[in-house]
């Protein structure tokens, strides 16, 4: 059987990080060029014909809307390219869940798109990047993970597991497999939904600005006012099921940009408290950073609360 043709798009992160030889910490992300990163895992060629393209080489905390748009445009072109069977993207783990979700909302996939990365730099004693890259390329080439080959959509591959783009979240700052899901069990079968959001970003060169504001005991309501003055939309990472103080509720009542209410808790469902946040939008199961991705995209087509509520209900 002919080998599948996989394109690896590299963006940087710890997987391309360099530090003192043999050490796991104190390194700089996004150093090794894409070609070198892929050439360091020759076993890839046993499973697929691999081509590499470097999109950028940054710490994933420095990913921007411009990088997202160029990545989405390139993934879209590769989806349409008949000489390509699957796409792997190497990426820092810090914001991998956001990029995966962004791509799932902006590219229609006929071929699997699989993001992967590493928790240890390439110069560590036992780097985890090569095994993750190999697993991601194998999965993109149709080799089974957990008994089944992946469907054609956006995934994160880490430590032998595939996570879907909507429910994946970086859940540990230090575990060797830091990925998990933000709503385990019930409700996680997003793929079964008939209707899903889709946004065409191909004609854009930037996205509306959305900032996340984190509530904690006695948090100054003025941070909400400041955040609203530098944003097109806000996401509140509230306490519990999206709650905050009366002081915040009062400050919020004077803010006239779209506000999505999410929670700082990692698991569970937010229900909008109309007493605290009348006329606002409920994030449902989306954690704050993913609610921000969806709000940025939604604001490219509407700023009406009723439309935004519908978009967030899907």
Residue 181 in contact with residue 161, Cβ under 8 Å?
A: no
**Least Cβ distance, residue 92 to ligand ASP (angstroms):** 2
**Least Cβ distance, residue 9 to ligand ASP (angstroms):** 15
Closest CB to ligand ASP among residues 32, 119: 119
Closest CB to ligand ASP among residues 111, 170: 170
**Least Cβ distance, residue 120 to ligand ASP (angstroms):** 8
Q: Among residue numbers 91 through 120, which ones bind ligand ASP (CB under 6 A)?
A: 92-94, 117, 119
Instruction: Name which position in 8, 13, 55, 141 contacts ligand ASP (CB under 6 A).
Output: 13
Q: Residues touching ligand ASP: how many (CB under 6 A)?
A: 11
**Least Cβ distance, residue 11 to ligand ASP (angstroms):** 9
Closest CB to ligand ASP among residues 4, 170: 170
Closest CB to ligand ASP among residues 63, 72: 63
Residue 277 in contact with residue 309, Cβ under 8 Å?
A: no
Q: Among residue numbers 213 through 252, which ones bind ligand ASP (CB under 6 A)?
A: none
Binding mask 20-59 for ligand ASP (x = CB under 6 A): ---------x-----------------------------x
DSSP string, the chain: -PPEEEEEEEEESGGG-B-STB-SSS-BSS-S-HHHHHHT-TTHHHHEEEEEEEEEEE-GGG--HHHHHHHHHHHHHHHH-TT--EEEEE--STTHHHHHHHHHHH---SS-EEEE--SS-TTBSS-SHHHHHHHHHHHHTT--BTTBPPPSSEEEEETTEEEETTTEEE--SS-SS-EEESS-STT--GGG-S-------TT-S----EEEEE--TT--THHHHHHHHT-SEEEEEEBTTTB--HHHHHHHHT--S-EEEEESSSSS-----TTTSTT-EE-TT--HHHHHHHHHHHTTT---HHHHHHHHH-
**Least Cβ distance, residue 93 to ligand ASP (angstroms):** 3
**Least Cβ distance, residue 238 to ligand ASP (angstroms):** 26
Q: Point out the residues that are catalytic.
A: 14
Which window, 88-96, 213-221, 223-231, 288-296, contacts ligand ASP (CB under 6 A)? 88-96
- 131 forms bridges with which residues in the sheet? none
Q: Which residue is nearest to ligand ASP (CB)?
A: 92
**Least Cβ distance, residue 59 to ligand ASP (angstroms):** 4
Closest CB to ligand ASP among residues 47, 155: 155
Which window, 87-95, 202-210, 239-247, 299-307, contacts ligand ASP (CB under 6 A)? 87-95
Closest CB to ligand ASP among residues 91, 138: 91
- Kindly list the distances between the CA atom of residue 254 and the CA atoms of 28, 74, 229, 279, in Å, as whole numbers in the listed order: 43, 41, 12, 12
Q: Which residues of 282-308 are buried (b: 16+ CB within 10 A; e: fewer)?
A: bbbbbbbbbbbbbbbbbbbeeeeeeeb
Q: Among residue numbers 153 through 212, which ones bind ligand ASP (CB under 6 A)?
A: none
Closest CB to ligand ASP among residues 102, 215: 102
Site residues for ligand ASP per CB under 6 A: 13-14, 29, 59-61, 92-94, 117, 119
């Amino acid at each position: 059987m002919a080998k599948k043709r996989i394109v690896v798009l590299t963006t940087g992160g710890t997987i391309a990080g360099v530090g003192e030889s043999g050490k796991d910490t104190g390194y700089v992300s996004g150093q090794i060029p894409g070609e070198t990163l892929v050439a360091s895992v020759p076993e890839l060629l046993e499973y697929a014909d691999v081509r590499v393209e470097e999109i950028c080489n940054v710490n994933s905390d420095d990913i921007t809307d411009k990088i997202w748009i160029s990545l989405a445009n390139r993934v879209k072109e590769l989806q349409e390219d008949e000489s390509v069977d699957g796409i792997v993207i190497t990426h820092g783990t810090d914001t991998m869940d956001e990029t995966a979700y962004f791509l799932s909302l902006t590219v229609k996939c006929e071929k699997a798109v699989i993001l992967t990365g590493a928790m240890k730099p390439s110069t560590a004693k036992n780097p985890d990047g090569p095994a993750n890259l190999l697993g991601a390329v194998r999965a993109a080439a149709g080799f089974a993970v957990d008994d089944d080959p992946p469907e054609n959509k956006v995934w994160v591959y880490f430590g032998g597991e595939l996570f879907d783009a909507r429910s994946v979240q970086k859940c540990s700052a230090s575990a060797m497999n830091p990925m998990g899901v933000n709503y385990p069990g019930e409700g996680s079968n997003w793929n079964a939904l008939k209707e899903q959001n889709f946004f065409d970003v191909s004609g854009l060169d930037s996205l509306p600005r959305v900032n996340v504001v984190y509530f904690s005991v006695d948090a100054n309501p003025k941070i909400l006012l400041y955040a609203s003055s530098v944003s097109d939309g806000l996401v509140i990472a509230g306490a519990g099921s999206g709650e905050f103080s009366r002081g915040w509720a009062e400050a919020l009542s004077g803010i006239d940009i779209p506000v999505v209410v999410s929670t700082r808790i990692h698991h569970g469902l937010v229900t909008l408290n109309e007493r605290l946040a009348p006329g606002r939008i409920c994030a449902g199961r989306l954690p704050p950073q993913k609610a921000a991705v969806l709000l940025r995209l939604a604001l490219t087509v509407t700023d009406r609360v009723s439309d935004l509520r519908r978009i967030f209900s899907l």
